[in-house]
Structure 1
Amino acid sequence: MTESRYEAGMNVRKEVLGSEHVERSLANTTDLDADFQRFITETAWGFLWARPDLDRRTRSLVTIAILAALGREELALHLHGSRNCGVDPHEVAEVLLHVGIYAGVPAANAAFALAKKEFPETATQDVKQAQEDV
């Protein structure tokens, strides 16, 4: 028996965002948003994220760029999930530099603030040397 789009979506969603987040989202689902939760699981995760032509790492970076450019609150969630997709914090920084040019400095500035919270390990690196290298 083949896996349904919903089942495939749940698997991808858990792999990217983490089982804990997905279980928490499901626990908070009500009659009001149950259809919406099913829709995003089947469509975003079971259809779009499950497509074979872009790997998850690339999809994660694209999603980060779009959410940062639009100033969406889900950016923090996808920054966290990017770790599960093999994204390096420095790749996120490169994407956010692009956001700064193509979507505006305020959008990138807000996104960098979230990224610094998600990737605190980058705070220990020699910032002065990085600035001199530019």
Structure 2
Amino acid sequence: MATRRAVLGEAHVDAAETGTTALDEGFQTFITEGAWGSVWARPNLTRRERSMITIALLAALGHDEEVAMHVRATRNTGASAEDVAEALMHVAVYAGVPAANRAYKIAKTVYAEARDDTKQQGGNHD
């Protein structure tokens, strides 16, 4: 759970936990233990590297909501917008231009929303 919170952020995980019902309780446990407690916690890759791999895989498979979630998580993993762009270039070559094109649009939207949020909060991080 600590890794899941560190990558996705407290608000995201809190919302997922609040929305958990008897129907998906086992699934939420599976995600936490399998993805976050096992794969994301392994020592051989950095969170930045895992983030780039995850975004590329999700984009290649067309999982748009998950792409957006993991692009948002890059603020916690250390993957830059340039890193994401490089990962998506691999998607274009190995999974197809349409998949990469869709993922670039998602990433641009996420980054634009983050800039808008920063401006609304009175910060200027440009």
Query: TM-score range with shorter-chain normalisation?
Result: 0.7 to 0.9
Deviation at 1:42, TM superposition (A): 0.5
SS at match of 1:32: coil
The yes-or-no answer on 1:89 pairing with 2:63 is no
Matches of 1:49 and 1:94, distance apart in 2: 21
Identity across aligned pairs (percent)?
A: 54
Aligned with residue 48 of structure 2, among 50, 57, 68: 57
Instruction: Tell me the C-alpha RMSD between the 2 structures.
Output: 0.9
- TM-score normalized by the length of structure 2: 0.86
Matches of 2:38 and 2:54, distance apart in 1: 15
Matches of 1:84 and 1:118, distance apart in 2: 14
Matches of 2:91 and 2:8, distance apart in 1: 22
Structure 2 unaligned spans of 5+: 116-126
- TM-score normalized by the length of structure 1: 0.81
Deviation at 1:75, TM superposition (A): 0.8
What's the CA shift string for 1:8-55, capped at 9, x where partnerless? xx1000100000000000000000000000011011000110010111
Deviating runs (4+, > 6 A) in structure 1? Answer: none
Counterpart in 2 of 1:28? 19
Counterpart in 2 of 1:99? 91
Matches of 1:57 and 1:91, distance apart in 2: 9
Deviation at 1:98, TM superposition (A): 1.2
Matches of 1:102 and 1:83, distance apart in 2: 26
**Number of residue equivalences:** 112
Structure 1 unaligned spans of 5+: 1-9, 122-134
Which AA in structure 2 matches 1:119? Y
Which one has a bigger Cα radius of gyration?
Answer: 1
